[in-house]
Structure 1
């Protein structure tokens, strides 16, 4: 059969003969090349602006509208809560700097999966992708879409069985994002830029409103400072969980390195600009919240932004739930975009069925991995609630973040001569490993909830699937038939192979 030739942009990655060796990029990686071979590749369509909007879009989602009450509850005072918000931002920034070194040294999509695999081998990488695909990424997207559903229901005053309108709206949000990401990477990137601008504008409205309230003398809550502060380390760790959830997304650009133009320069720039901007916005937003409500009111509010709007902008208060909806829509889109690429990278390496590394022959998007990620997210929407999902997410995520930071330390000693376009001081990854250990252990000691046990069992349970299906390469019965049907329905083919 004839072989079609497509004009595509290639990352021109040169691999060594050993899959676990660090990959290098040729000089042509800095250019947008035309490939006339019979290859199908992901396309480099994200520039610096797109990268910044992608990260900001990932970070600013439901967290700043949901987490303030959790942070304040865990710290006990306004002053301590602001310190936690600032501290969580600094942790995210330091983590991002570590990921910049990893991403410019190993310019492949896949994020943590890619770095863990290069450093520690296939089994730890499989356990990460197992947890990421089935637990971390879907629970994150479920939290954001449920927040979208909650505010959607409040705007339109929907009635029905408890949680039903929320969940239906959340599922509609997820399915819309799935269709968009399957259809076009460019459209997904454009939506990201639009929603990022909208959500930043909405938070600026909150900040300006807070300044206005301060000029009117509404500073009584802010003036309480550190009164009532909680000093229990394990309780503070839970407060950090909530704040770090609001910052989560700082690592997402590393999932799509192969689609980022000039990653050696744009990856560090986009990360640093984005996270510093978000830190400033978050701290000012928290001050603004406390100019319009007391600590007790904030702790009792289910929709903090809506209560703030009712107090400050009165008849225009509907702007706030609409802003939250736009915000969560954008962050769900960004997480779906990166989540699909993570599964794509793992499947390409043989750690998940090859089907999930297939791309659409017309749009060059990883349709099977995207659809699978959304299906699992919908399942979490149906069975979970926001607070329990945050516990699931935070425990599992920081366990593997710590392993990723450890891989950077390993590379410093094992691969000293490898080119590093961007390099962080060694104490930073060491500090991040210690912080990760603290964030994993402290909450378990403070409140040994059943969710932590479930997450641990699930992580270790990945070995049950790894050894028969990955290590010994046993075939899943009838999966070849499933693959054939998926190829026919979605018009997808194996990456780097196109047959007409």
Structure 2
């Protein structure tokens, strides 16, 4: 992976050759007049749209079934949704301190590396590369495909059709993100509006039913409540998956205009809004659908629309498909930056940390992520993917918040534009430890596999990064691959101007 290209002079020569090659092909572009680096093009509204667009993706239209399945009752399900929103808000507040005191792109990776060193940071990058990011994006793509195809079939759409549509969405959005950052943020802004419309339709429809006196589904909301702590923790996994993305703006801090002001503002605007609308949407689901109906469907919003919207029932899968499409776009945009930053610090192949000289976008990182995401389309069993991704994400979120506490002790004089009360990270840390440890005995296979994949990163780190004196043949091979990819994608190492 890479200590990879260690000869900077050779890499510089390649950069120059790439630039000259691009000049020959396109006289109008003059990449040497401007430093080749990621640009600060994300404002406050774009930041809010990124957070909303990623959080409000596939989760709220997919996981109410998973929450109810483990929680057992409507009452506990609603409690889980409220608690997850509060927990995400506390976590986001902690990340606002981390993001402004360690103002680097890469999110958790940057904070873990700053506090605990390279090995834990590499392990986060390792599992993010193989589980968290591609699995999350694959779930969004599969959900998009399911909702898009649902009106065309009386039963569940064929798996191959789902895979084809999902793969097409991944490829198209990877292209958009490669071509232009502003295009990507405009796509995000537009589709964020569509997903809010879908949720507002659900909330208003549920309110109309509630006002008209249809409360029979809420008469015994605590029946069948789960008492097994492991089951309750598993229900939180599904709920937190729907809130996943509250920390993704931290991945793009270096592209955010005035991050010290806009990062916390975007968080404080987004999280309370999402929590309120999620709880109201779930209440609407339970007003209209019985618990059995919720558990019987994999497309709860479609079932909801079929029962309530009459002739306009087609609108629900349409809006949900748009919503998940926007969530996928936000996931691709943010997670590619994580790999970019990891490669910048030598924890991934150096070509991943290169910028296209025409579009100033991390093309190599985006394509790398896109290929990994496509591999996850070999399965369409999203609930297993959710368990894998949520367990690992909870584990490293716990480590990131522990980094905040450790940095308070290790670097007390570090400049902290935002400084949260220490009670909140401690509370968040305790809850995350609960969520990490308890499901290991209720879902031992999924959590065991996820833990095994994490530990597999240790020997990889020792061989590819810790071992410095690698054979010349290895270095020559890596250097050849790097140069080939640079030429193929017209990319060079990032240049920071004064």
CA distance in 2, matches of 1:351, 1:393: 21
Q: Which residue of 2 aligns with 1:355?
A: 351
Verify: 1:98 aligned to 2:97, yes or no.
no
Q: Distance in 2 between matches of 1:199 and 1:117?
A: 35
Is 1:413 the counterpart of 2:409 in the alignment? yes
Shift in CA distance, 412/152, structure 1 to aligned 2, threshold 3 Å: same
SS in 2 for 1:187: helix
1:316 to 307, 312, 316: 312
Q: 2:366 is matched with which residue: 364, 370, 374?
A: 370
The alignment status of 1:468 with 2:463, answered yes or no, reads yes
Q: CA RMSD in A?
A: 2.0
Query: Structure 2 stretches of 5 or more lacking a match?
Result: 1-15, 21-30
Matches within 5 A, 1:160-179: 162-179=158-175
Give the Cα–Cα distance (whole angstroms) in 1 for the partners of residues 345 and 276 of structure 2: 39
| Cα offset, 1:428, TM superposition | 1.1
- Three-state SS of the structure 1 residue aligned to 2:438 is helix
* Equivalence for 2:125: 129
Using the TM superposition, name which of 461-470 and 96-105 deviates more.
461-470
Instruction: Tell whether the 8 Å contact from 1:139 to 1:393 is kept in structure 2 after alignment.
Output: yes
1:166-196 Cα distance to aligned partner (Å, 9 max, x none):
1111111111110000001100000101000
Measured against aligned partners, the alpha-carbon deviations of 1:271-299 in whole angstroms (never above 9, x if no partner) come to 11101000000011011112221111111
**Offset at 1:2?**
9.6
1:395-434 to structure 2, matched below 5 A, reads 395-434=391-430
Measured after TM superposition, the shift of residue 39 of structure 1 is: 2.8
Q: Shift of residue 136 of structure 1?
A: 0.8
The equivalent residue for 1:489 is: 488
Answer yes or no: is 1:138 the counterpart of 2:134: yes
Aligned to 2:329: 333
Partner Cα separation in structure 2 for residue 477 and residue 145 of structure 1: 38
Given that 2:18 and 2:492 are in contact with CA atoms closer than 8 Å, whether structure 1 keeps it comes out as no
1:289 to 285, 288, 294: 285
Q: In 2, Cα distance between the equivalents of 1:304 and 1:160?
A: 13
Q: Shift of the alpha carbon at 1:471? A: 1.4
Residue aligning to 2:5: none
Partner deviation per Cα, 1:90-110 (whole Å, 9 max, x = no partner):
110110001000000011100
Separation of aligned partners in 2, 1:315 and 1:38? 55
1:455 pairs with 2:454: no
TM-score (norm 1): 0.90
8 Å contact 2:150–2:157 — kept in the other structure? no
1:279 match: secondary structure? helix
Number of aligned residues: 468
Shift of 1:418: 1.3
The answer to whether the 8 A contact 2:46-2:189 is kept is yes
Structure 1 CA distance for aligned equivalents of residues 217 and 493 of structure 2: 58
Q: Kindly indicate whether structure 1 or structure 2 has the higher relative contact order, using CA contacts under 8 Å at least 6 residues apart.
A: 2
CA change 1:208–1:376 in 2 (3 A) is same
* Structure-2 residue corresponding to 1:84: 80
- Greater share of residues in helix: 2
Give the match for residue 24 of structure 1.
none
- SS of the counterpart of 1:493? strand
**Could you tell me which residue of structure 1 aligns to residue 435 of structure 2?**
439
**Structure 2 Cα separation of the partners of residues 144 and 351 of structure 1:** 27
Q: Does 1:114 align with 2:110?
A: yes
Residue deviations 1:280-325 (CA, integer Å, cap 9, x gap): 0001101111222111111111210001101111111111111111
**Contact kept in structure 2, 1:469 and 1:476, CA below 8 Å:** no
1:371-390 equivalence runs, <5 A: 371-383=367-379, 385-390=381-386
Who is 1:26 aligned against?
none
TM-aligned CA distance change 1:160 to 1:221, over 3 Å: closer
Show structure 1 runs of 5+ residues with no match: 6-34
Moved more, 407-416 or 160-169: 160-169
Match of 1:16? none
User: What's 2:13 paired with?
Assistant: none
Give the conservation status (yes or no) of the 8 Å contact 1:152–1:166.
no
8 Å contact from structure 1 (residues 340, 373) kept in 2? yes
Please tell me whether the aligned partners of residues 19 and 357 of structure 2 are also in contact (alpha carbons under 8 angstroms): no
